[in-house]
Structure 1
Amino acid sequence: MTTIRFLTAQPPGSVLGAEPDMTESAEAYRATGGYDGATGPDELLRHLDASGLRGRGGAGFPAAVKLRAVREGGGGPVVVANGEEGEPGSVKDRWLLRARPHLVLDGLFRAAAVTGAVRGYVYLSDPEAGARVLRALAEREPPLPIEVVETDHTYVAGEETAVVRRIDGGPALPTAKPPRPFERGVGGAPTLVSNVETLARIALTAARPGLRQRIARSTLVTLSGGTGAPLLTEVPYGVPLRTLAAAHGTPDAAGALMGGLFGGLIGAQGLDLSLEPGALTAAGTALGCGAIRFLAADTCPVTAAAEAVGHLAAESARQCGVCVTGTAAVHDALRALAAGTAGPDTVGNLARWSRGLPGRGACGLLDAAAGTAGSLLRAFPEVLPSHLGAACPACAADSPAGGHGRLAVAVPEVTDAPLTAPR
């Protein structure tokens, strides 16, 4: 079971809110300052600029820049709350839509006011979340037409061009860029595709502009793997990864798989890094969607890499030939290393693919596979020689089954009984 808790005292302006295990009603949300019209669109945009709020969907793009680009695009903009999280180790977005749908909708309405949008969408694949969003919309009439669009849950379905394609009636598959959605998106209109946590932080900034820095510099993280139970928590930037490992129940972690499957592997020394996007990027990894999977002390990183790339290979949209063949080749090489059947050129091939494959697919899936392989070579060079020509006992004991299963984290339980007032 995935638990929800703060690691320290709950700070004001928290996305987790006072009752993270209950669905919040419109009445309860308004009682804490939600839907307050005191902060106008232009003022809100200035606050977002000043706070430096970045998107929480994975790319970390500045929220104010994205909002401004859509507003300046003209042509009846569209806003989309993107709640489809394809990373198997992330649960924050589905939890937000189940527990705090009004916070997300408030952020969506405010984004619409900033951009001048004429219609909006909530995009998701979780039926339970969809039902609670529909109920929230019935509790408070939206200021513009809002439609809930469901899709199948896949790794690529939340990519912004796949979101646009699905809302327009097509399959949830990425398209070539440019144009990007802010240029031409749903129905050909400039479109803001914004992660639901980003929208939640926009709403919190509007309600509590004096806390804008704290709101922008805190983030939801999903911690899993290792020897602890999965944990969803909210932490400020700057917390050492080692502190998160201990809080999760894996104090002796041998490393971690960062950013869902996009940040690659880091070794034990990497756990001294701070949870801060700039510091992580400079170290060659990434915060991504905030999903961190710790490696237990007895876990072989080769197995962890093979499992991650196996998931990516299975989730390929199969639109780009280089993605199909590239992810399969990387996965086969990592499985051979884990089994002790790798040839003398395997490590060299992985190094070459990690440099040459990124950027060649329509989305980031191929980049994630290549990056995972490259990060294994950088973070754990000492383990590779023992995998050439001999089976690794730790890999044999772990035996990943195709990359599916163990990477997935269950959404925390949220009682389907809306509060009528804060308790």
Structure 2
Amino acid sequence: MTAIRLPTTRSPGSALGAAPDVAESAEAYGTTGGYAGTTGPDALLGHLSASGLRGRGGAGFPAAAKLRAVRDQGGVPVVVANGEEGEPGSVKDRWLLRARPHLVLDGLALAAAVTGAVRGYVYLSDPEAGARVRRALAEREPDLPVEVVETAHTYVAGEESAVVRRIGGGPALPTAKPPRPFERGVGGAPTLVSNVETLARIALTAAHPELRGTIARSTLVTVSGGNAVPVLTEVPYGIPLRTLAAGHGIPDAAGALMGGLFGGLVDARSLDLPLEPGALAAAGTALGCGAIRFLAAGACPVATAADAVGHLAAESTRQCGVCVSGTAAIRDTVHALAAGTAGPDAPARLERWAQGLPGRGACGLLDAAAATAGSLLLAFPERVRSHLRRPCPDCAATPAGDGHGRRLAVRVPEVADAPPSRVPLSLRPSPVLKGTS
């Protein structure tokens, strides 16, 4: 089971909260400043803009700009808390919905206030998270009508156009863009699809605007790899990847699989990079959803790449022919490398696909497969060449998986039920939904 590691320095602006192993009640959340409604929409938008808060769903788009884009479309917007966590190595979103549903719901209501939305949705695939969110809604009835929408868990079900399609009654499959959801989403209305951690940080900023910089520059990460127990923790931007690896019990890590399956592989030298979106992007990798899998010393990166591309190929929705053929070709070639049966042209073919396939599918799945292949060649060229000369003992000991990402998967930390709240509904404060600061 995944452990939770609290930061050394505790802060009221922490997304982990005071008791991360127990579901937070409305009463407990209220004592931390939640649901207070003291920061108006305009002031909140100013705080978010000044703090530079980025979305935590993977793309890292500025949160204030996304809120403004929905607000400025006109009409009556819709807001969606996106808790569908497709990355097998990430647990933060499901944990937030299980442990701190009121924090997420508060953030959703505040986002509605900023954009002018009058209805909201919580979108997820985890039954336990769904039960906790429904319990939170019953415990404190929100002024904003909120519906919980469940979907089947897949890698692409959380892609924003797939979210809109599923809420509208269709399958959770990506659609061609434009239009994007902020232009025309649920029911044709401008729609904010926001990751649940992003909404949590919006709520924390509203309750503690004096800590806006710290809130924006802290992030939840899921750390796994080696023989260590996976960990969910909160860290500040700027912490070296090597420090994270050492704290995870792998001081001599050989590299990492970054950003879930989206940031690709990096070598040991790259572990001196700071965990900061801009610095990572400049180095050709990504923070993504905050899932980092470190490679233990001696572990073969080809085996890790084989697991990653195998999972992506299995998760292709088969809507785009280029994705079906592209992910399968990358999978088969990397698996052949791992098995020691690849021909001498394998690296050249992987390089060609890494350069030519990104951007050709309806979502980012094909891009992730191509990035994994390209990063393997870039970060570990000698290891790739060695697989062409002779079979790899490490890969032989860990043959390619079944495509379901089980070796990459991390379990959600256990969260106990909250005790019943003692505060009557009539005495609990309501969030600000409309108006100005």
Q: TM-score range by the shorter chain?
A: over 0.9
Q: Which amino acid aligns with 2:380?
A: F
Residue 411 of structure 1 corresponds to: 412
> d(CA) in 2 for partners of 1:37 and 1:267?
46
Cα deviation, residue 323, structure 1: 0.3
Cα deviation, residue 45, structure 1: 0.2
Q: Deviations over 1:140-184 (max 9, x none)?
A: 121121100000010000000000000000000000000000000
Q: Report the secondary structure of 2:376's partner residue.
A: helix
Q: Give the alignment's TM-score, normalised by structure 1.
A: 0.98
> d(CA) in 2 for partners of 1:298 and 1:398?
13
> d(CA) in 1 for partners of 2:141 and 2:211?
28
When the two chains are superposed, the root-mean-square deviation of aligned CA atoms in Å is: 1.2
Q: Report the secondary structure of 1:158's partner residue.
A: coil
Residue 196 of structure 1 corresponds to: 196
User: Given the superposition, is the C-alpha separation of residues 391 and 242 from structure 1 closer, same or farther in structure 2, using an over 3 Å criterion?
Assistant: same
> d(CA) in 1 for partners of 2:7 and 2:18?
14
Q: Deviations over 1:175-200 (max 9, x none)?
A: 00000000000000000000000000
> d(CA) in 2 for partners of 1:161 and 1:377?
32
- The farther-off stretch of 106-115 and 382-391 is 382-391
Q: Which amino acid aligns with 1:301?
A: P
Compare relative contact order (CA 8 Å, sep 6+) and give the higher one, 1 or 2: 2
Structure 1 position 84 matched with structure 2 position 81: no
> d(CA) in 1 for partners of 2:122 and 2:365?
23
Residue 18 of structure 1 corresponds to: 18
> d(CA) in 1 for partners of 2:367 and 2:110?
33
Cα deviation, residue 37, structure 1: 1.2
Q: Deviations over 1:191-227 (max 9, x none)?
A: 0000000000000000000000000000000001123
Q: Flag structure 1 segments of 5+ consecutive residues without an equivalent.
A: none
Question: Aligned runs of 1:1-400 on 2, under 5 Å?
Answer: 1-400=1-400
Q: Which amino acid aligns with 1:59?
A: A
Q: Flag structure 2 segments of 5+ consecutive residues without an equivalent.
A: 423-437
Residues 339, 390 of structure 1: 8 Å contact kept: no
Residues 97, 133 of structure 2: 8 Å contact kept: yes
Q: Which amino acid aligns with 1:55?
A: G
Q: Report the secondary structure of 2:233's partner residue.
A: strand
- The farther-off stretch of 65-74 and 1-10 is 1-10
Q: Give the alignment's TM-score, normalised by structure 2.
A: 0.95
> d(CA) in 2 for partners of 1:161 and 1:322?
19
> d(CA) in 2 for partners of 1:231 and 1:418?
26
> d(CA) in 2 for partners of 1:274 and 1:369?
24
> d(CA) in 2 for partners of 1:323 and 1:227?
33
Residues 338, 400 of structure 2: 8 Å contact kept: no
How many residues were matched structurally?
422
Q: Which amino acid aligns with 1:183?
A: E
Residues 82, 196 of structure 1: 8 Å contact kept: yes
Q: Which amino acid aligns with 1:344?
A: P
> d(CA) in 1 for partners of 2:380 and 2:247?
24
> d(CA) in 2 for partners of 1:227 and 1:209?
40
Cα deviation, residue 389, structure 1: 4.2
Residue 432 of structure 2 corresponds to: none
Large movers: runs of 4+ above 3 Å = 418-421
Residues 343, 389 of structure 1: 8 Å contact kept: no
> d(CA) in 1 for partners of 2:39 and 2:175?
37
Cα deviation, residue 417, structure 1: 2.7
Residues 250, 296 of structure 1: 8 Å contact kept: yes
Q: Report the secondary structure of 1:384's partner residue.
A: helix
> d(CA) in 2 for partners of 1:203 and 1:284?
32
User: Given the superposition, is the C-alpha separation of residues 309 and 172 from structure 1 closer, same or farther in structure 2, using an over 3 Å criterion?
Assistant: same
> d(CA) in 1 for partners of 2:218 and 2:419?
26
Residues 223, 293 of structure 1: 8 Å contact kept: yes
User: Given the superposition, is the C-alpha separation of residues 374 and 104 from structure 1 closer, same or farther in structure 2, using an over 3 Å criterion?
Assistant: same
Residues 229, 249 of structure 1: 8 Å contact kept: no
Cα deviation, residue 397, structure 1: 1.3
Q: Report the secondary structure of 1:156's partner residue.
A: coil
Q: Report the secondary structure of 2:219's partner residue.
A: strand
Residues 154, 315 of structure 1: 8 Å contact kept: yes
Cα deviation, residue 420, structure 1: 4.3
> d(CA) in 1 for partners of 2:327 and 2:98?
34
> d(CA) in 1 for partners of 2:325 and 2:290?
29
> d(CA) in 2 for partners of 1:7 and 1:131?
28
> d(CA) in 1 for partners of 2:246 and 2:202?
31
> d(CA) in 1 for partners of 2:149 and 2:313?
27
Q: Which amino acid aligns with 1:313?
A: A
> d(CA) in 2 for partners of 1:288 and 1:235?
15
Residues 24, 99 of structure 2: 8 Å contact kept: yes
> d(CA) in 1 for partners of 2:269 and 2:72?
45
Residues 28, 419 of structure 1: 8 Å contact kept: no
> d(CA) in 1 for partners of 2:188 and 2:134?
26
Cα deviation, residue 5, structure 1: 1.2
